[in-house]
A = this chain, B = another copy of it.
Amino acid sequence: MNHEQIVQRFERFLKTRSLKLTAQRRKIFDRAFGTHEHFSAETLYGWLKDEPGENVSRATVYRTLALLLDGGFVEALDAGRGELVYEHVLGHAHHDHMVCLECGKIEEFHDERIEELQLEACKKKGFQLVSHDLRLRGYCRGCAKKRGTRSASAT
């Protein structure tokens, strides 16, 4: 799926809700899909600020991200840094995250067997699963090396 197709999907989404495709929404959308990084609302706001032309307000960034989230175009992740980070969802299969406590880097991984075990657990409890979120916190390869071999003081 290329960028044009994604935009079209967004346009259709807006239409079904009688919402309008404004220049601001377009900018935010393009930027969100133009990166494969995870970004916070503030980060995205910063990116747009650096672009030529009219600025988009912080409020609109927040409002549009909420809209994209609602439409399933992006997913939100709380990496434990006090702000949500987003990632676009298209072309991205579901995955979980490893968050580095040192540098904040977010790595992705996926293991279908884990997903299956989750479903199994839900079945047992009669829990109707909507979504899930697995975060591993620790040190990425680079930071772990820098910190030496001393083990963490955690439980």
- Chain B's nearest CB lies how many Å from the CB of A151? 9
Cβ of B136 and Cβ of A135 under 8 Å apart? Answer: no
Asked whether, in the complex, the Cβ of A122 is within 8 Å of the Cβ of B138, the reply is yes
**Contact status A133-B130, CB under 8 Å:** no
Q: Does A121 contact B (CB under 8 A)?
A: yes
Least CB separation from A154: chain B residue: B130
Taking a contact as CB atoms under 8 Å apart, the answer to whether A128 and B154 are in contact is: no
What is the minimal beta-carbon distance from A60 to any residue of chain B, in angstroms? 21
Among the listed B114, B121, B141, which residue makes an inter-chain contact with A109, where contact means beta carbons less than 8 Å apart?
B121
Copies in the complex: 2
Chain B CB within 8 A of A144 CB: yes
Interface residues as binary, A131-151 with B (CB distance below 8 Å gives 1, 0 otherwise): 111111111110010000000
The interface bits of chain A over 105-142 (1 if a CB of B lies within 8 angstroms of the residue's CB, else 0) are: 00101010110011011101111111111111111110
Contact of A128 among B72, B124, B128, B138 (CB under 8 A): B138
Contact (Cβ within 8 A) B135 A128:
no
CB contacts (< 8 Å) of A133 on chain B: these are 134-135, 137
Q: Judging by beta carbons under 8 Å apart, are B122 and A127 in contact?
A: no
Cβ–Cβ < 8 Å partners of A154 in chain B:
72, 130-131
* 7 further contact pairs, Cβ within 8 A, besides A125-B140, A130-B152, A133-B135: A78-B78, A98-B122, A114-B118, A126-B144, A127-B139, A128-B152, A134-B134
